[in-house]
């Protein structure tokens, strides 16, 4: 049976290659080295990468939303405190204090 025509890099510090030892199944290549398999793998990796990026963007946006929600709560509390302070001063002085909130 014909062997795969792919050159495979050997492990180690120096680049050395040997011919793939698997049997060729399609177009003179083994299943692992056939372009169809390589494309499918690349596509899978790309999908995973996109999902990861997309996921992290959502997480970042959710964190930002939570941060802004806390900021809004704190500003509303501050606003309420100032409003009651203004009402207290108005009642105390009897003066019309024009503050737009």
Q: With respect to Zn ion, which residue has the nearer C-beta, 2 or 67?
A: 2
Is residue 40 a contact partner of residue 32, using CB atoms and an 8 Å limit? no
Closest CA to 21 of 39, 11, 34, 8: 8
Choices 18-26, 44-52, 56-64, 79-87; region in contact with Zn ion by CB under 5 A: 18-26
Q: Which of 22, 25, 37, 86 binds Zn ion (CB under 5 A)?
A: 22
Question: What would you report as the CA-atom Rg of the chain, rounded to the nearest whole angstrom?
Answer: 34
Torsion angle of the four alpha carbons 83, 87, 90, 91, in this order, in degrees rounded to the nearest 10 = -170
20 part of the interface to Zn ion, by CB under 5 A = yes
33 part of the interface to Zn ion, by CB under 5 A = yes
- By CB under 5 A, name the binding residues for Zn ion: 4, 6, 20, 22, 30, 33
């Amino acid at each position: 049976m014909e062997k795969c025509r792919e050159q495979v890099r050997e492990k180690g510090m120096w680049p050395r290659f040997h011919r793939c030892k698997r049997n060729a199944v399609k177009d003179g290549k083994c299943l692992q080295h056939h372009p169809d398999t390589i494309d499918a793998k690349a596509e899978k990796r790309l999908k995973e990468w996109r999902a990861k990026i997309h996921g992290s963007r959502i997480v970042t946006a959710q964190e930002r939303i939570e941060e802004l929600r806390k900021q809004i709560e704190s500003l509303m509390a501050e606003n309420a405190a100032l409003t009651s302070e203004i009402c207290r001063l108005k009642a105390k002085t009897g003066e019309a204090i024009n503050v737009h909130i």
